[in-house]
Amino acid sequence: MARQPMSYKTKNRLEIAAMYLVIAVMTVIIFYPLIWAFGMSLNPGTNLYGASIIPENASFVHYEWLFTSPRSNYLLWYRNTIFVAVSVSLLGTLITSFTAYAFSRYRFRGRTYGLYAFLLLQMFPVLMAMVALYILLNTIGLLDSLTGLILIYIGNTIPMNAFLVKGYIDTLPRELDESAKMDGAGHFRIFFQILLPLTKPILSVVALFNFMNPFMDFILPRIVLRSPENYTLALGLFNFVNDQFSNNFTRFAAGAILIAVPIATVYLFLQKYLISGLASGATKG
């Protein structure tokens, strides 16, 4: 007996079911660690293996310790991280926009090789240059300082972001520049009053990524910073899970959960630009 071909409706239902299954699996993978971390932060104990995702005696004692205990440097680390993140986000985005504008709108000697250099630098992680950067920071007296850390972050973000923003600026009509020049506008006026407002979507994406990086990074602060009063959150929270603080994983979870607050705030503030910026980057980059 001949086998009946699968109907279009049945095939469509199977495809939709498979799609929802993939979405459900990815949702579990993404949210399960977050739920575990929040539940762990509410456990009054300190043991990782004794903690549960739904604690029987939920308590905010670890959050209270972070903000009130004289032994806690959490607020200091939080302030340091926000200072670094805001500085990298603002200065890095500004320098990136200047660089992208120059490579997009001007023709000068070495322009092509500069673009090739940006592509080449994207292929190598900053850790490959950490020995040289360590010696450089030590030579100029910026080792174990937030300023030195900010400079490394900014330098690390420029190649990739400048190439991304340049691709966006390339899609903007040059007639805008020419019309402004006919009206007597100079280079800076064209950039700040005409092109900069038009590049808000992609610059918002760059600013958000620059802001998030200092909150998530551990290796660079570990290499550059030495004094506990200069620690960022990632480096400071590491002390909660080493022998110095008796492997206090629940307190570490409480501190890690609070990292999401400034990132979520910046995301909500830039939300109206982020969607269009990511979509434009996908179609115009």
Q: Let me know whether 58 and 192 are in one domain.
A: no
**DSSP tag of 5:** P
pLDDT in tens, 24-67: 999 989 888 888 888 888 888 776 666 677 777 888 888 998 99
Q: State residue 55's pLDDT score.
A: 78
| CA–CA distance, 231 with 77 (Å, rounded to integer) | 6
Range of the domain at 138: 72-284
49 and 153 assigned to the same domain:
no
Local confidence band at 133 (pLDDT 50, 70, 90 cut-offs): confident
Q: What is the pLDDT of residues 257-275, one digit of tens each?
A: 999 889 888 888 887 777 6
Rounded-to-integer distance, Cα 148 and Cα 130, Å: 12
What is the predicted pLDDT for the residue at 232? 94
Q: Which residue has the higher pLDDT, 43 or 84?
A: 84
User: Same domain, yes or no, for 225 and 129?
Assistant: yes
Pair 17, 102 in one domain: no
Please determine, for residue 83, whether its predicted confidence score (pLDDT) is greater than 70.
Answer: yes
Q: Are residues 115 and 42 in the same domain?
A: no
**Residues 229-252: pLDDT tens digits?**
999 999 988 877 775 545 678 888
Token pair, residue 98, equals 């200047």
Cα-Cα-Cα-Cα dihedral of 146, 246, 65, 252, to 10°? 60
Lowest-pLDDT range of 175-179, 205-209, 214-218, 280-284: 280-284
CATH of the domain at 194: 1.10.3720.10
Q: pLDDT of 134-157, one tens digit each?
A: 899 999 999 999 999 999 999 888
Rounded-to-integer distance, Cα 120 and Cα 65, Å = 47
Q: Which amino acid is at 61?
A: V
Q: Give the end-to-end CA distance of the chain in Å, rounded to a whole number.
A: 55
Q: What angle do CA 38, 83, 161 make, to 5 degrees?
A: 90
* Helix 111-121 / helix 74-105 crossing angle, nearest 10 deg: 150
Among 217, 178, 189, smallest CA distance to 88 is for: 217
Total number of domains constituting the chain: 2
Residues 129 and 219 sit within 8 Å (Cβ to Cβ):
no
| Residue 28, in any domain of the structure | yes
Question: Distances in Å between the alpha carbon of 162 and those of 96, 121, 203, 274?
Answer: 5, 12, 10, 17
pLDDT at 246: 57
Rounded CA gap, 113 and 117, in Å?
6
Mean pLDDT, residues 163-187: 86
